[in-house]
Chains A and B, each alone.
Chain A
């Protein structure tokens, strides 16, 4: 998918575990894992808001748009 989830990087920067985050935002660990591993198909605004509040960050810190063929373009440039 072209949307990359950088939750693990933000968690590392905040020195917070996924379990701690789950407790803070009230989302199950299973669903946070779905989000973290990039398997999620959609994210609710309410979830995003809770995550940003708990991690004190912006949505852009968590989500990033990476074009699907960016690796191919990079490889070709090299």
Chain B
């Protein structure tokens, strides 16, 4: 016989776990990464602004298109990549915040994982389409598209995780109302 007093999976009464060290460290690391990404984005936008008003140093990027147009395209391509990373890190920070609060299985986290895979998919799709144009040496040369299977595999993993989180959040809500 199970004594309900000992069998009390009363989620509403379980105190949240203390702010664990790994979660805290993750929070700090993600904060620093986000700051670095924002700083890099601001630097890139500064370069783009400077390019509008003066001569540009086309050697700064590894683009083989050494024209001012190619330079600007490379800047916006890099800025796009940074934006995707900022979105991903921003969502991860929110996710880690719920982890630190001791309640990661909330519907919002399933949504956050969805935003992450959508951002990564858009970024990868944009890279697949734009990179051949940026790396082309001879304008007449044939374009080669490089599909990175491992990135799409990673996106697939994220989609599955988002679904798992969604179900976890549903079960969590149900457990909360189980007496």
Determine the main DSSP class of B at the interface with A.
loop
Q: A42-B174, A43-B179 are in contact. Are A26 and B1 (CB under 8 A)?
A: no
Pair B5/A31 contact, Cβ less than 8 Å: no
In the complex, A11 has a CB within 8 A of chain B: no
B4 to A: closest C-beta gap in Å: 5
Q: Does B141 contact A (CB under 8 A)?
A: no
Q: Give chain A nearest CB distance to B18 CB in angstroms.
A: 21
Question: Which of B8, B177, B178 is close to A26, meaning CB atoms less than 8 Å apart?
Answer: B8
Query: With contacts A28-B10, A31-B12 known, is A40 near B3, CB below 8 A?
Result: no
* Given contacts A40-B178, A43-B178, A31 and B10 within 8 Å (CB-CB): yes
The reply to whether B13 and A28 contact each other, CB–CB distance below 8 Å, is: yes
Asked whether A44 lies within 8 Å of B179 as measured between CB atoms, the reply is yes
User: How many of chain B's residues have a CB under 8 angstroms from any CB in A?
Assistant: 14
Contact of B174 among A28, A32, A35, A41 (CB under 8 A): A41
Q: Does A9 contact B (CB under 8 A)?
A: no
CB pair B3–A46 under 8 Å, yes or no, is yes
Do B4 and A46 touch across chains, with their CB atoms under 8 A apart? yes
* Inter-subunit contact A27/B3 (CB<8 Å): no
* Chain A residue nearest to B173 in the complex (CB): A41
Tell me, yes or no, whether B2 is within 8 Å of chain A by CB: yes
Would A34 and B4 count as touching, CB distance under 8 A? Answer: no
Against B, the Cβ 8 Å flags (1 = close, 0 = not) of A13-55 are: 0000000000001111011101100011111101101100000
